[in-house]
Structure 1
Amino acid sequence: MDTIELQRVARIENDNWWYRERRAILSRELLRYSVPGDAVDIGAGAGGNSKELAAHGWQATAIDLNPVAVALARAHGVEAYEGDARYLPLPSERYDMALAMDVLEHIEDDARAAAEITRVLRPGGTVLLSVPCDMALWSAHDVSLGRVRRYTRRALVDLLDGAGLLLDRVWSRGVLLRPPLRLLRHRSAHYEDLAPLHPFTNEALRLAAALERRLPIATWPGTCLFARAHRPG
């Protein structure tokens, strides 16, 4: 993510429905672990997810390629370092948890990045990640964010398998919002999710996301995919 987009995210992530929803998903996943451990947040941006990890008792380290992101994360009290997801400046078999939230879609050699995740995880360690799904949704929005792909469910599963990770679960989000978002993004060459939303719109989207959690539609096509996998051991 370039500096301009990063600064936009830093301004909106505390209130924006999507960043709040992503942290809520992370929070629910972390409740699976009774004993927190060491975690690395890869492509951490300003450190919002790292702070969520810390709030659940995890010892979090943030890694981002952008020095501005590292500075912002440190300003928020997060231990953060510059690093490329393909060549993580971290020891092998060190972490109990790795996050890669909306990261892999920005990397041409995503197989290398996935292999690095495996390398830094301890045997039995978990990775939680999210990616945008379905090239049918490709639009100027993806280009503006510097993405190089969107994933099918099969492609994501194959990527994790190729990295030596065992898949625990893969699920869709944004199922209810897929039709309107597809329409908006394809109708405009300048549609931008990172612009501040009107409070009414933001709340409506938040409620739609909350409703989706209660519906049995996690296998339906959505706008993004989440996956949880672990390193064998």
Structure 2
Amino acid sequence: MDTVEIQRVVAIEDDNWWYRERRAIIARQLRRLEGPPGRAADIGAAGGGNTRVLLEHGWEAIAIDASPAAVELARLRGIDAYHGDACYLPLSTGDFDFVMALDLLQHIPDDRTAAGELARVLRPGGSALISVPCDLSLWSAHDIALGHVRRYTRESLAEVVRDAGLHLDHMWSWNVLLRPIVKWRRHQSTPQDMERLHPIVNAGLRAVSMLERYLPVQSLPGVTLFARAHRPEL
């Protein structure tokens, strides 16, 4: 993600339905973890919007991003942020209780090395939360503009997670209900479609997205795949 795109995300993420509901997903997953908050790393953190969720839940969290501009933006927001390549993380082995890589792996040609780095920095028993865009039929100019090199299937994401030495605990789809609208929008829009929505539209989209919390649709095709995994105990 380039500097302009990162700045655009930072400008809209506090209000935008997509970013708000994704932060709600992070919060729910954190509440599922056993034990008190510990050390966490947000890999591919951009401006640190998701890192703030970790901090709000009591975690000692750092942000890592390959973009110096993203690191600077995160630091300006009071986040402990560092420049680093996801395939060569500047982090100690087995030093973290939780790592997060949201919408990261699709940018990296060698996604298996990046996933292996997530596993390396986790302590035995530590957990990871990963999200990726799914389904090649949704591929559009949006993917190209954001620097994606792939979209995933459930099988391909599970293979990457397991090859990294992580145990896959749960995988689910997100934005199932809005998938038809997203597919239509992505194939109609210009590459740069990251824009501030009308408040009524934004509220409506968030309401539909929130409805998925209560419906049994997570096994159906969506727009994004989430995976929760952990590093096995020694």
Normalised-by-shorter TM-score class: over 0.9
Task: Quote how far apart the aligned CAs of 1:192 are.
Answer: 4.1
Alignment of 1:197-212 (within 5 A): 197-212=197-212
**Identity over aligned residues, as a percent?**
57
Equivalent in the alignment of 1:50: 51
Contact 1:40 1:98 in 2 (8 A): yes
Q: Distance in 1 between matches of 2:29 and 2:184?
A: 31
Equivalent in the alignment of 2:111: 110
Q: Distance in 1 between matches of 2:113 and 2:28?
A: 28
- TM-score, normalised to structure 2, is 0.97
Give 1:205's aligned amino acid.
L
1:190-209 Cα deviation digits (max 9, x unpaired): 05441111111111110000
Give 1:162's aligned amino acid.
D
Q: Distance in 2 between matches of 1:101 and 1:134?
A: 17
- TM-score, normalised to structure 1, is 0.98
SS of the residue 2:55 aligns to: helix
Aligned CA-pair RMSD: 0.9
SS of the residue 1:131 aligns to: strand
Q: Distance in 2 between matches of 1:179 and 1:209?
A: 13
Task: Quote how far apart the aligned CAs of 1:48 are.
Answer: 0.8
Task: Quote how far apart the aligned CAs of 1:162 are.
Answer: 0.5
Equivalent in the alignment of 2:77: 76
Give 1:213's aligned amino acid.
R
Does structure 1 residue 28 correspond to structure 2 residue 28?
yes
Could you list the runs of 5+ residues in structure 2 that have no partner in the other structure? none
Contact 1:41 1:62 in 2 (8 A): yes
SS of the residue 1:183 aligns to: helix
Contact 2:144 2:191 in 1 (8 A): no
Alignment of 1:118-137 (within 5 A): 118-137=119-138
Give 2:39's aligned amino acid.
D
Q: Distance in 2 between matches of 1:184 and 1:83?
A: 33
SS of the residue 2:203 aligns to: helix
Equivalent in the alignment of 2:222: 222
Contact 1:134 1:150 in 2 (8 A): yes
Could you list the runs of 5+ residues in structure 1 that have no partner in the other structure? none
Task: Quote how far apart the aligned CAs of 1:92 are.
Answer: 0.3
Give 2:81's aligned amino acid.
A
Contact 2:46 2:74 in 1 (8 A): yes
Task: Quote how far apart the aligned CAs of 1:187 are.
Answer: 2.6
SS of the residue 1:31 aligns to: helix
Contact 1:17 1:206 in 2 (8 A): yes
Contact 1:41 1:49 in 2 (8 A): yes
Q: Which runs of 4+ in 1 moved over 3 A?
A: none
Equivalent in the alignment of 1:10: 10
Q: Distance in 2 between matches of 1:73 and 1:186?
A: 32
Contact 2:98 2:127 in 1 (8 A): yes
Contact 1:114 1:160 in 2 (8 A): yes
SS of the residue 2:229 aligns to: strand
Q: Distance in 2 between matches of 1:4 and 1:115?
A: 29
Give 2:44's aligned amino acid.
G
